[in-house]
Amino acid sequence: MMDAPTTDRWIRCLNLLQLVLAGIIIMTPTVWMVLSSFKPSFEVTAYPPTLIFSPTMENYLQLTRTTPFVSYAVNSLIVTIGSTALGLLFGVPAAFAVSWTRISWPAILTLAARMAPGTLFLLPWYVMFRQVGMIGSYTALILSHAVITLPIVIWVLLPSFDSIPRSVFEAAQVDGCSVTRILWRIALPLVASGVAVAAILAFVFSWNYFLFALVLSNGDTKTLIAAAFNFIGEGSTQWGALMAAATLIALPPLILAALVQRWLVSGLTLGAVKG
């Protein structure tokens, strides 16, 4: 039989081992991607992989020389910010309404829409947007990406609104607030961290979404993630440039997540009101 301190030590060691393993599994592809982006082209796919190499900016230079990378980045920003804003505009009142009325089916419906494969929407949308001449427009991309952002906003904010004691809303009603005013003056300030989390998650998911942009954009509105696909050719793939592009694409969500890490965790666990 082990005594209690020995057992605790073992548990701590096993926990650490789990974390290290999970970290390796998550970080290996990312580290691989970043290292590869600094390798000369011939070394990217070398086998066995080289860990010691002379770093080069060749892939990044090729990326900016051969593609309108900045334009794609701007397109990505427009679509992502637009769809996040749209998601917040409709998602915040929707989440509040679901929490207020305790009628949950609209929220479940949006979640079901989010869980459905993107191709389910893509073909009807393609036909519809083509008929109204919107293929390749920012509007079509923003609207389609709202299908990603809206459920995220609703489902992140719903527990936030639910965690506000009902009596606080009732006190506001008795004080003379309309429901709309309760949302703006009472509920929203109380779920500010939740709104930030919802906005960041919506931004990241929209930024990373590939399928809609691939089909609904054109040369002028192509987003970064869809443009990166161009490096995969039928005969040869420019792995170095692809890795450089992937590294740059991954940067904004990573930086954003790192900046608001603490807020993200507290926003997801919630319970900010009671006490």
Among 62, 64, 173, 266, binds other proteins (CB under 8 A): 173
Query: d(Cα 158, Cα 96) in Å, to the nearest integer?
Result: 7
Indicate the residue among 113 and 190 with the shorter CB distance to other proteins.
190
Q: Which stretch binds other proteins (CB under 8 A): 15-23, 31-39, 128-136, 178-186?
A: 178-186
Indicate the residue among 142 and 182 with the shorter CB distance to other proteins.
182
3-state secondary structure at position 274: coil
Give the dihedral sign, CA 127/133/137/139. Answer: negative
Among 7, 66, 175, 229, binds other proteins (CB under 8 A): 175
Diameter over CA atoms, the chain: 75
**Binding to other proteins by residue 8, rule CB under 8 A?**
no
Radius of gyration of the chain (CA): 23
Query: d(Cα 225, Cα 223) in Å, to the nearest integer?
Result: 6
DSSP state letters, 160-193: HHHHS-HHHHHHHHHHT--HHHIIIIIIHHHTHH
The site for other proteins, by CB under 8 A, has a size of: 19
Q: Which stretch binds other proteins (CB under 8 A): 87-95, 155-163, 181-189, 210-218?
A: 181-189
DSSP 50: P
Contacts of other proteins in 44-73 (CB under 8 A): none
Give the dihedral sign, CA 28/30/31/33. Answer: positive
DSSP 231: G
Indicate the residue among 172 and 197 with the shorter CB distance to other proteins.
172
Indicate the residue among 72 and 169 with the shorter CB distance to other proteins.
169
Q: Which stretch binds other proteins (CB under 8 A): 8-16, 166-174, 220-228, 258-266?
A: 166-174
Among 172, 225, 227, 241, binds other proteins (CB under 8 A): 172
